[in-house]
Amino acid sequence: MFGKRALKADGKAFACLKGDLLAFRLGDGTPAHTKALALPGAELARSRTASWLPIEP
Give the pLDDT of residue 10.
Answer: 93
Residue 23 belongs to what domain range?
6-55
Low-confidence ranges of the chain (pLDDT < 70): 1-2, 46-50, 53, 55-57
Domains contained in the chain, number: 1
In a domain, 37, yes or no: yes
Give the pLDDT of residue 15.
Answer: 87
In a domain, 1, yes or no: no
Three-state SS sequence of 20-56: CEEEEECCCCCHHHHHHHCCCCCCCEECCCCEEEEEC
Give the pLDDT of residue 49.
Answer: 56
Q: What is the pTM of this model?
A: 0.61
Give the pLDDT of residue 9.
Answer: 92
